């Protein structure tokens, strides 16, 4: 008798985990570059498959990789510009991705990409696919900020 075997396939969580592991690399410039190249290839592979399209977390860890692993600020800015456009076009600009993008680029590029706006002021179209999980996290974080502002 044949048993039905579930088809296993990679999903966005697996790809995002690989990128996150790469982004957490410590070591020499060469080791960081190798890790960035692996993160980039993993990101590109995830973009090519139906079930592994990047989400708000994937973009966030990819911005982390840009900021931590690329040694040259011009290269960081160039890559982050492209990644930011993809992220906004896909509607996955979560607050984590926004904060990590800001940390990865120069002030000039940040202003160029965001017009100097805060996350809340950015177009909703750029955030349209951010998961409820991420939105809840953003709201908790914002309410914590507000309560800290109220403290003497």
pLDDT in tens, 30-82: 999 999 999 999 999 999 988 899 999 999 999 999 999 999 999 999 999 99
Residues whose CB is less than 8 angstroms from the CB of residue 89 and which lie 6 or more positions away in sequence, other chains included: none
Residue 142: pLDDT above 70?
A: no
Residue 137: pLDDT above 70?
A: no
Taking the model in full, what pTM does it have? 0.83
Residues whose CB is less than 8 angstroms from the CB of residue 55 and which lie 6 or more positions away in sequence, other chains included: 12, 16, 92, 129, 131
Q: Count of CB atoms within 10 A of residue 78's CB?
A: 15
The whole-number pLDDT of residue 144 equals 60
The whole-number pLDDT of residue 56 equals 97
Gap between the Cα atoms of 5 and 21, Å rounded = 30
| Residues 11, 51 contacting (CB under 8 angstroms) | yes
The whole-number pLDDT of residue 118 equals 97
Gap between the Cα atoms of 54 and 121, Å rounded = 23
Q: Count of CB atoms within 10 A of residue 115's CB?
A: 9
Indicate the average pLDDT of the chain.
Answer: 89
Residues whose CB is less than 8 angstroms from the CB of residue 76 and which lie 6 or more positions away in sequence, other chains included: 66, 67, 70, 104, 105, 106
- Of the pLDDT bands very low, low, confident and very high (cuts 50, 70, 90), residue 85 is very high
């Amino acid at each position: 008798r044949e048993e039905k075997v579930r088809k296993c396939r990679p999903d966005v969580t697996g790809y995002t985990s690989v990128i996150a592991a790469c982004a957490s690399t410590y070591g020499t410039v060469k080791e960081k570059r190798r890790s960035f190249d692996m993160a980039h290839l993993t990101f590109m592979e995830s973009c090519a498959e139906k079930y592994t399209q990047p989400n708000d977390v994937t973009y966030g860890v990819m911005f982390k990789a840009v900021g931590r692993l690329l040694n040259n600020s011009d290269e960081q800015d160039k890559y982050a510009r492209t990644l930011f456009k993809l992220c906004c076009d896909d509607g996955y600009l979560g607050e984590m991705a926004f904060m990590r993008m800001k940390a990865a680029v120069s002030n000039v590029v940040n202003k160029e990409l965001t017009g100097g706006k805060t996350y809340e002021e950015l177009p909703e179209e750029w955030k349209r696919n951010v998961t409820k999980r991420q939105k809840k996290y953003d709201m908790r974080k914002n309410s914590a900020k507000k309560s800290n502002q109220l403290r003497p």
